A and B are shown apart, each in its own frame.
Chain A
Amino acid sequence: MTQALVFYPTALIIMVFSIIAILSKKIVYSLICAILVFMASGVIFYVLGAEYNAVIQLTIYGLAVPVLLAMAIMFTDVKNEKRAIITGARRYIILTSVVLIIMALVYLVAIGVNITPEHTFSPANTNLNHFRIFDAITDGFFSTYLAAFELFSLLLLAVVAGVSDNAK
């Protein structure tokens, strides 16, 4: 029950503010809505029992990425923005997307009134923080996924070196 109390408002925030972010004329409003969406996604991760992912989501997408985007907005001229003109094939793509979203919402309500398939995992057996996520992820980083972890570190190092070199 607690999971539902958190999930539905958070999902509503994500859906509404993501659409506002796309449709907003001013890029700063888009950024503010995007921050809300990213933070609400962190809450969703927490509800899913992945608190480590939630912390990473909140720190990277909730703080670091908006700072980068805000810097980019400040460095560029936002006064000369043109309004997005929806013409031609784009109109049909948007229409299809809207129809799909409405169908998804209808399906969401339908499964909400217990039309779920059988043999699904019961949420009653799902407890938050039940799986000792921190231990599992740290074990994974330093055993099974060691090569990927090292490769990713090299990628980050290359990015930092490249940006530093170009910033001169």
Chain B
Amino acid sequence: MLSNITIYHYLLLAFILFMTGLCGVVVSKNVIKILISIEFMLTGVNINFTAFGLYCKNLAFDGYIFALFCIAIGAVELAIALYIFYAMYREKQTSEIEDYGDV
């Protein structure tokens, strides 16, 4: 039945989000868009963690807490990446990833 939401639904949603993010990392040339894609991938991973935390009884709350750490570390990583990007942008005056090859 369509009303039955199982762990597989969440895993597939996370997989699709992860693949979309991976696709964006490969295709995009803008640094900010690549960072957004990485955040999509991290969100997919977080959905996985939370789904396992709910459905797998032996994990108890480890999945939830892992997801929390992952969210916080993802935000920190984004802040640092944006700082590095801005430092490079001041030198190169471009936001295209291919122009940063010699950094």
User: Which residues of chain A are within 8 angstroms of B23 by Cβ–Cβ distance?
Assistant: 22, 93-94, 97
Query: In whole angstroms, what is the CA distance A3 to B55 when docked?
Result: 14
B43 in contact with A104 (CB, 8 Å): no
Given known A11-B13, A21-B24, contact A101–B19 (CB-CB < 8 A): yes
B73 in contact with A152 (CB, 8 Å): yes
Given known A21-B36, A148-B69, A155-B76, contact A53–B16 (CB-CB < 8 A): no
Mostly, the A contact residues are: helix
User: Which residues of chain A are within 8 angstroms of B64 by Cβ–Cβ distance?
Assistant: 50, 52-53, 133, 136-137
For residues 60 through 74 of chain A, which have their beta carbon under 8 Å from a beta carbon of chain B?
A: 60-61, 64-65, 68-69, 71-73
30 examples of A-B residue contacts, CB within 8 angstroms: A4-B3, A18-B40, A22-B37, A34-B40, A38-B39, A48-B47, A50-B50, A50-B54, A53-B46, A53-B68, A56-B72, A57-B71, A60-B71, A69-B32, A69-B78, A69-B82, A71-B82, A72-B85, A80-B94, A101-B19, A111-B9, A112-B1, A120-B8, A131-B61, A133-B64, A137-B64, A141-B65, A159-B76, A163-B79, A166-B83
**B residues bordering A, Cβ < 8 Å?**
1-10, 12-13, 15-17, 19-24, 26-30, 32-33, 35-37, 39-40, 43, 46-47, 50-51, 53-55, 57, 60-61, 64-65, 67-69, 71-76, 78-80, 82-83, 85-86, 89, 93-96
